[in-house]
Amino acid sequence: MTAPGTAPLVHTAELRTWFTLRKWGFLRAGTVHALDGVSFDLARGEAVAIVGESGCGKSTLARTLLGLDRPTSGEVAIAGTPLGTMDKDAMRRLRATVGYVQQDPYAALPPFMSVATILAEPLRIHGLSHGRDRLTAALEEVGLTPAAEFLEKFPHMLSGGQQQRVVIARALILEPALIIADEPVSMLDASVSAGILRLLRRIQQSRSLTLVFITHNLATVRHFADRIFVMYAGRFVETGPTEALLDAPQHPYTQALLAAIADPDPDNADHDRAVPDSEPPSLINPPPGCRFHPRCPHAMPGLCDRDDPPAFQPRPSQTSWCWLHR
């Protein structure tokens, strides 16, 4: 064992989570390769953004890390404990190690519980004290003040942004080492989103938490993550430090994603965007070779449509799974 603090908090290798599709409830109709061989380590105290379009496997990755989806093969361990081997008790402890912030705060909060009950619940389940001071402190940390007032409220009395702050407070209350935030602001207005992301980042830094921030929008990550993993069709296509990856994207898919983003600018109306018109591939029968090749402007016939690209290192800190960089 490595000394605590230096060992990665999250370790995965060749992680695959597949789902079997059934027809009429029993006939195997196909296999969805939702997460199809990803390997990475996350250090304690780092924030990574996992970026990709819907269906690329980012939520499956989140659910696999949370122990909600069972991996089909590969390794996944949190704080040194492999997830596959856990019994009920260990799973319960894992739940206390990992906080979860989901996309729709309203759906995440039980409608008939007050904020106080919602926050006390995890403490109660884990046999911890859930006095008023503890709950007040939790609300203050997420900026819901005066806390006494918010404790008495029910979810429907709160705005979307306030609801998401309650979800964050609940995710933090067992003092987890890892927070997984799956599209935490995609249901919120732009004017409140920045506040939620700032809050997550501030807490992540002050408590030295590991943060996995899942988003489809690369424009939101610059200030809120140290590293970016770009996913496409169940796999990583590019990883690297945030600034480097945004300023000099290497993989053609990352380049396309960045080209698709419209910063508010009146000149946008004057020209078309350089994006492929085609659709993302099926995860049941993914294309052979590089999965992006059918949409890639640089695809090299005979190579990209045949052989899986391995990891290349086009720049010292950036990894790209693309034959262009061989």
Q: Is 204 in the site for other proteins (CB under 8 A)?
A: no
Q: Is 30 in the site for other proteins (CB under 8 A)?
A: no
Dist CA 240 CA 160 (whole Å): 32
Residue type, 167: V
Interface with other proteins (CB under 8 A), residue from 29, 125, 137, 259: 259
- Applying CB under 8 A, which part among 10-18, 165-173, 176-184, 257-265 lies near other proteins? 257-265
Interface with other proteins (CB under 8 A), residue from 223, 248, 308, 310: 223
Q: Is 218 in the site for other proteins (CB under 8 A)?
A: yes
Interface with other proteins (CB under 8 A), residue from 37, 45, 276, 287: 276
Rounded to the nearest 10°, the torsion over CA 79, 50, 75, 91 is 50
Residues 150-169 that bind other proteins (CB under 8 A): 159-161
Neighbouring C-beta atoms of residue 216, cutoff 10 Å:
15
**Residue partners of 283: CB distance under 8 A and separation at least 6:** 32, 33, 34, 36, 55, 57, 233, 234
Nearer to other proteins, 215 or 239 (CB): 215
Dist CA 89 CA 94 (whole Å): 9
Q: Closest separation between CB of residue 279 and other proteins, Å?
A: 5
State how beta strands 47-51 and 210-215 pair: parallel
Interface with other proteins (CB under 8 A), residue from 68, 125, 219, 248: 219
State how beta strands 178-182 and 210-215 pair: parallel
Which residues of the chain form contacts with other proteins (CB under 8 A)? 53-54, 159-161, 189-198, 216-220, 222-223, 246, 256-266, 268-269, 272-273, 275-277, 279-280
